[in-house]
Amino acid sequence: MKQRQLGGLIASGTTFAILAYFAHRLPYFPQDLNISQGIQQFNGLLPSLMYGVSMTSSFIPAAIIVALVTVWLGKSNRRLEAIILGSAAVVTALAIVPIVKSWVGRPRPAPDLVLVMATEPGESFPSGHATFVMVFYAFIIYLLPKLIHHQAAVKIIRGLLIAFIGLTFTSRVYLGLHWASDVLGGFFLGWLVLIVMISIYYYYLPKFSRRSENAGTS
């Protein structure tokens, strides 16, 4: 693992651990309530947008998207990318996030504090949606130059994915499903997993490349 990646891993892990510790002790942070109430002042078409964005990263739609992208990568001779992306998404969603949620045990925002526009089971910290989009879409953002060779297309798709990640973060708070600190926890947990994914990718990439070259000459 490169020194920069190791530094990012330590920084992300430390920040997430601090957030998780205080989330375990506090039902919400002092600024969480102000952020939620401030965001929820906006209406118009925003609720429909927030519902739609949030639904895209819910379990069934997210599972379908992961499966489709993983299959596409595999058929595009990007088996290493498919393995890492699919495995990380599954392990994070089914193991890492539930374990952390269970340990922290923070309740979701209460309707007497904020407007709760949707309900979901389980604990609040960290946001599983925020973690997922960081693990899945941020890794795609990282891979894009290797997947698409048109620079302008890479920039456009990256911009769209970054906007989608930001909207997902906002939607979880806007709908009253999470506090802002839950989303921040999801960001750092996702970033932590992302660094591990990139490190594994660079470690195994030369081996997969040699294997592909040998298969092509045999």
Is there a domain that residue 96 lies in?
A: yes
**Predicted TM-score of the model (pTM):** 0.90
Q: In this predicted structure, what is the pLDDT of residue 217?
A: 46
Residue 78 lies in a domain: yes
Sign of CA dihedral 139, 142, 145, 150: positive
User: Which one, of 18, 28, 8, 3, lies nearest residue 123 by Cα?
Assistant: 28
Count of CB atoms situated within 10 Å of the CB of 129: 28
The rounded distance, in Å, linking the Cα atoms of 178 and 44 is 21
137 in a domain, yes or no? yes
Q: Is residue 213 part of a domain?
A: no
CB 183 within 8 A of CB 123: no
pLDDT tens for 165-180 read 999 999 999 999 999 9
Q: Are 92 and 86 in contact (CB under 8 A)?
A: no
Catalytic residue among 24, 149, 150, 178: 178
Pick the catalytic residue from 24, 129, 149, 150.
129
| Number of separate domains in the chain | 1
Q: Determine whether 129 is an active site residue.
A: yes
Give the domain extent around 120. Answer: 3-208
Question: What integer is the mean pLDDT of 97-104?
Answer: 97
pLDDT tens-digit profile of 61-96? 999 999 999 999 999 889 999 999 999 999 999 999
Burial of 97 by CB count in 10 Å (0-12 exposed, 13-18 middle, 19+ buried)? Answer: buried
User: Once rounded to an integer, what is the mean pLDDT over residues 181-207?
Assistant: 92
Q: For residue 132, name the pLDDT band (cuts at 50, 70, 90).
A: very high
